Structures are given as C-alpha cells and as structure tokens.
Amino acid sequence: MLASLDLSGRCVVLGVTGSIAAYKAAPLVRQLKKAGAEVQVLMTPDAERFVTPLTLGTLSEGEVLTEIFPENEEGSWTKHVTLGQWADLFVVAPATAQTVAKLAHGFCDSMLTATALSARCPLLVCPAMDRDMYRHAATQDNLDRLQEIGYEVMPAAHGELASGLVGQGRMPEPEEILGRVAEVLAETEPTEAPGDLPLAGHDVLVTAGPTREPIDPARVLTNPSTGTMGYALAEAAAARGASVTLVTGPTALSPPPDVEVVSVRTAEEMNEAVQARGTDADYVFMAAAVADYTPADPSTSKRKKRDEDLVLHLRQTPDILKTLGAHRRPDQVLVGFALETDDALENARHKLDEKNLDWIVVNDPTEEGAGFGSSTNRVTLLHPDGASEDLPRMPKAEVAEALLDRVLTAHHDPGT
C-alpha cells in the first residue's frame, strides 16, 4: 500500500527533536520524498546530537533549519510564518517529552516551535521517550492538551527502549507514520499557492488600538484597548495576500509582518490617516477604539492639582466610519466594530444602517473573555442580509480568521 502512495504537490514540515529515535527521521524523509512530497526539515539543537543536518538536508534536498532566524534565508525573521503558511502538514517525529511540553504550552524558542505556533495546517505529533517519562502524569497531561488544541497524536509504540527497559515509549516506525501522514493529507486541501491567495491584488485598511485625547501635556482621555484584535486582522489579511495598511493608536504590540503601519495618537489624527487612505481600500476593518469625545480646550501646560473638582469641556471627535460610509465606492466593503453593554444587537443594527456598513462585529466588554485586555473575544457578526451569527469565545487571531472567511465568502469574486 505505502509503495503506491502519491503525495505529489503536498508540502510537509518535519520537526526532529533530541531523541535517539531521531535516526528514524532519515528513512521517513526518504519515504516522504519517494511518495512525491516536498519536505522541509526543522531540527532542535539537541537533535543534531543524534543525526546530522547534512544527512537530513541531503535526503530532503533542502537546507535544514534550526534557529528562529536562519542566517542564509531571505526574510529570515518571518521564515517561521512563511513555513506555517506553506505546509499542508507539520509532523514532529520524534517528539521528546520536552518538545511535547513546549508545544502544549505555546513555547517559542526554536524554529520548530515558532513554526508550530504559526502553522495553519494539521500537526501530527509522534512521541518518543523512555517508558516512565511517557507514563508520567505531566507527559500524559501534555499529550491530552495537544489533542484538545487540535493536534493529532500517535500513541508511542511498545517495545525495547534505549534504556534497556521494555514498555511504551518507542517512536512509531516510519512506515506507520507515513500511513498516518497519507490519511491526514487525504482529509485536507493543499495549501494555496501564493498567486491563488484570496486577497492577492486587493488593498485592505485596518484600524486598531485606542486614541489618546490630551487634557494637558501630562494627561489624556483614553480607553483600555490593546489593539490585539486589529493587529490580528491586519496579519491575517496580509497572510491571505492583501496589501495591508494598519492605522494604529498607541499600543505595546510589535508591527505585523508585511504590513504598512501608520502610527497616530488622537482621533483627529486617525481620521486624517483613514480618510487619506480609505478611498483606495477594497476592504476596511475599523477595529480601533476611537474616543467619542476630546477636550475642547486642552491646556498647553500641566494643570495643577488645585481645585477639588475639575470640569472639562468636551467636544465630539470626528465620526471616522460614518464619513467613510458616506463617500464609499460601490464595490468597497466596510466592516465596523461595536462595543455595547446594553441592547447590543439593536444598537449595532442602528450603527450598521446609520453608517452605511456592510458588516458590524459586536461584543460586550463586561462579558468574560471578551473586549479590552483579553487575548480572546466573543463576538456576534451582523451580516449584510440582516442575519446575526454568534461566534464562540476564541483567541482574537481565530476571530480575525473567521471574520475574513465570512466577508470573503460573501463579497470576494475569484475572477478579480
């Protein structure tokens, strides 16, 4: 059966870790290549104690990568992201107890673990370790956690181990792993080629983060937005081939790769940046938490703490999205965000109509795991046809992917 496997055109990342079973990676690479797969080998530094990068590089017909920033690679600082998009399947064989723990808890200290965090494809883990390490409650908890995350885990095989003990802990044989690889790939679509990315050739504008409205040189009116949702949207759109401009208020986040970043501070500055760029954008995602009011007469010097009560006169800031909606192109897609604590859907539908939007994303900051300062979000999408869709609580990166999926399904013409 395995001799007739056809994996032509499928892209496999093989992660090799520091187990004596690493020698089995050589025949696994050979069999993957014989079946027609493209193979990129990633090794942890300890794996090089058991099998050389030269051996696996020769068999895979490519350079083996270990460090997060490989010296000989163009665009090395985002190589893990590129590989995460390229792969149809990520296989870790052998997977030591150390690597299993790192994968289960999101560690990112090698090219292998960084790529695993970036990968959108299925991930197949093949444990290999001594009997009592495999039996240990911590290891079993980590393997369970990997399955909860969505990874595939092949149970370790029973037999004689390098320590001389006999028990469960052996890495499955390359033929067994190859068979499981074929089964997983049969259930998944090939990764899209860069030219087939759904947003290739399209301009996307995303806003993110808070604005800061000055009271005086030392004080501002602002909100707790971290910018995480907008940054996730910008990164996800860029990964789908878009030319992305991110207009962002002050955040502590690193700029997403392959994204043009325009930094602003106030609502007025954000309005100027968005209106200047919004006309040309095919898709606009307004995820920023823009202040509704700003001090009418900010002081040019620090206000002294003299009065028990301080009265500030505030004026409305520009309605950025309403202005965009009033001057939008017929083929432009506008997506707004609404943070509501009361009558959420009713208020959001009013904003959808008033601001001439196609979609609006609604969330409640008082709900656990939603809103400001959380790595997750729980949102409701209001569709163009008036329907609403509740998404479960999930990481904001996954919310971004789900939103892009819905918007592109409804609006994107593959022929454009």
Reported as a single tens digit per residue, the pLDDT across 335-377 is 999 888 888 788 888 899 999 999 999 988 888 877 787 888 8
Q: Which two tokens stand for residue 397?
A: 């990166």
Q: Which residue has the higher pLDDT, 139 or 416?
A: 139
Q: Does the pLDDT at position 183 exceed 60?
A: yes
Indicate if the alpha-carbon torsion angle 341, 345, 351, 352 is positive or negative: positive
Rounded mean pLDDT of 259-280? 95
User: What pLDDT, on the 0 to 100 scale, is given for residue 94?
Assistant: 97
Beta-sheet strands, E only, within 265-357: 283-286, 293-295, 314-316, 333-339
- pLDDT tens sequence across 140-157: 999 999 999 999 999 999
Q: In this structure, what are the phi and psi dihedrals at residue 229, rounded to the nearest 5 degrees? A: -65, -45
Regarding predicted confidence, which is higher, 71 or 93? 93
- List, for residues 291-325, the tens digit of each pLDDT value: 999 999 999 999 888 777 888 999 999 999 999 99
Annotation marks residue 356 as catalytic: no
Q: What is the pTM of this model?
A: 0.57
77, burial (CB in 10 Å: exposed 0-12, middle 13-18, buried 19+): exposed
Does 6 score more than 60 pLDDT? yes
pLDDT score recorded for residue 415: 41
Looking at residue 282, its amino acid is D
- Could you give the CA distance from residue 169 to residue 132 in angstroms, rounded to a whole number? 8
DSSP per residue over 82-99, as a string?
HHHHH-SEEEEEEE-HHH
Q: What is the DSSP string of 197-247?
A: -TTTT-EEEEEESB--EEEETTEEE-----SHHHHHHHHHHHHTT-EEEEE
Contacts of 9 (CB under 8 A, 6+ apart): 36, 38, 190
Of residues 226 and 76, more confidence is placed in 226
SS3 377: strand
**What are the beta bridge partners of residue 389?**
381
CA-to-CA distance for 30 and 175, rounded, in angstroms? 11
Catalytic residue among 72, 142, 223, 363: 223
Percent of the chain with pLDDT over 90: 69
pLDDT of residue 80: 84
Residue 127 falls in which region: left (phi positive, over 0), alpha (psi -120 to 50) or beta:
beta
| Confidence bin at 4 (pLDDT 50/70/90) | low
Q: Is the model more confident about 375 or about 97? A: 97
Mean pLDDT over residues 247-263, rounded? 94
> 209: how many CB neighbours lie within 10 A of its CB?
29
For residues 33 and 8, is the Cβ–Cβ distance under 8 A? no
Q: Which residue has the higher pLDDT, 306 or 172?
A: 172
Please report which confidence band the pLDDT of residue 72 belongs to, taking 50, 70 and 90 as the band edges. Answer: low
pLDDT of residue 75: 45
Residue where the block lists tokens 């309403």? 322
Mean pLDDT, residues 56-70 taken together: 90
Is 80 exceeded by the pLDDT of residue 129? yes
Domains of the chain: 2-186 (3.40.50.1950), 194-411 (3.40.50.10300)
Q: With bands split at pLDDT 50, 70 and 90, how would you rate the model's confidence at 5?
A: confident
pLDDT of residue 151: 95
The closest alpha carbon to 267, from 300, 298, 301, 236, belongs to 298
Q: In the prediction, which pLDDT does 386 show? A: 75
